[in-house]
Amino acid sequence: MARDRYLTISWNIHISDPEQDAKNDQTKGTPQHDKLFRLKPLLDTILIACKTHFHPRQHIAIDERMVATKAHTGMTQYMKAKPTKWGFKLFVLADSSNGYTVDFAIYTGKSQFSSGVGLAYDAVLSLVNPSFLGGGYELYVDNFYTSPKLFMDLFSMNIGACGTYRDNRRGCPRIENNSMKKKDERGTIRWIREGPLVFVKWMDSREVSICSTIHPAYEGATARRRFKGNDGKWVTRGVPCPQPIVEYNKHMGGVDLSDQLIQYYTIRHSTKRCPAVWCVGHCASCESPSRTLTGASIPAGRPKQAGLIWEKKLCSLQNH
């Protein structure tokens, strides 16, 4: 099926029950209104299929994904840090090893999550379902999601978590013993442990803060960095690197890998049609002796476009 034909058919498909749509429309402006009601049957089918055909491995990651659109739907978001800046925002749970999308939730507005703890907290708990995943998983998130309360609640579910954090996040330590100074040497490490939580700060080209309930602060790992020597020449040597940062860099890219694979198989790629058949002699349509030439067998040096190969006529396969 050609791409344009597929798009035309998809534009005219109505998935939900019109009577139920009318009832849902009457609840506009209330928390009971579902902005995705007309797509619910399709979304539920996709989500069930994602969970049915593959169970994730131990390392998983949660991040945002943008589905490109500039339609005025009331759900369109703008994220300047993403390659796709305008579109629908999805919270995605992906397998870190292969990028498989295990689960996702479409962000429709603040009324979607009403626990009062925060959007990031609710988004993670809506995707991490112990009844489906079980326990023993290691979850990696960025600084938008990381908070001590979230990590402790996940720890109580037997799910470890690791992620960078913001110093002004509620519950994060702000004491002088764990603070970095601009003059600290590259590779300097400071950490504080509070029960299962370990808060680590590391000086790289800038200060990096990370929290984990899985890893120790330091296990002897190093990172290769370039330094300028006294003679003005650049040299490369290893500097101490905290274990949470090593594992974070290794497993955080699950959703980015998933986005990359989606781009390889997008339906918006150009499609190839069957080779054209050229009539260069008699046949039923042009009353001349007939033989066929496909695009590959046309002699070199002659133009292949219709109407430019002398007086040859493009005939359909049915006429030969």
Backbone angles phi, psi at 124, to 5 degrees: -65, -45
Quickly tell me which residue has 């860099």 as its tokens: 249
Quickly tell me which residue has 């749970």 as its tokens: 93
Give the whole-angstrom CA distance, residue 280 versus residue 309. Answer: 9
Least confident stretch, 103-112, 221-230, 245-254: 103-112
Residue 85 has a pLDDT of 84
Ramachandran class of 310: left when φ > 0, alpha when ψ lies in -120 to 50, beta otherwise: left
Q: Taking all residues of the chain, what is their mean pLDDT, rounded to a whole number?
A: 81
Residue 29 has a pLDDT of 80
Q: Are 295 and 302 in contact (CB under 8 A)?
A: no
Pairing of strands 207-212, 86-95: unpaired
Amino acid at 76: T
Q: What is the pLDDT of residues 157-181, one digit of tens each?
A: 999 999 999 888 888 887 776 677 7
- Buried b / exposed e along 79-118 (16+ C-beta atoms within 10 A): eeebeeeebbbbbbbbbbeebbbbbbbbbbeeebbeeeeb
* Between residues 98 and 288, the one the model is more confident about: 98
Residue 274 has a pLDDT of 57
Q: What is the pLDDT of residues 73-84, one digit of tens each?
A: 878 888 887 888
> Angle of helix 148-156 relative to helix 119-127, nearest 10 degrees?
20
Q: How many CA atoms lie within 13 A of 63 on its CB side?
A: 28
Mean pLDDT (whole number) for 138-159: 93
* Between residues 29 and 111, the one the model is more confident about: 29
Give the whole-angstrom CA distance, residue 174 versus residue 164. Answer: 15
- Ordered alpha helix ranges (H), 26-63: 40-52
Q: What is the pLDDT of residues 217-247, one digit of tens each?
A: 888 888 888 888 778 788 888 888 999 999 9
Pairing of strands 59-68, 138-141: parallel
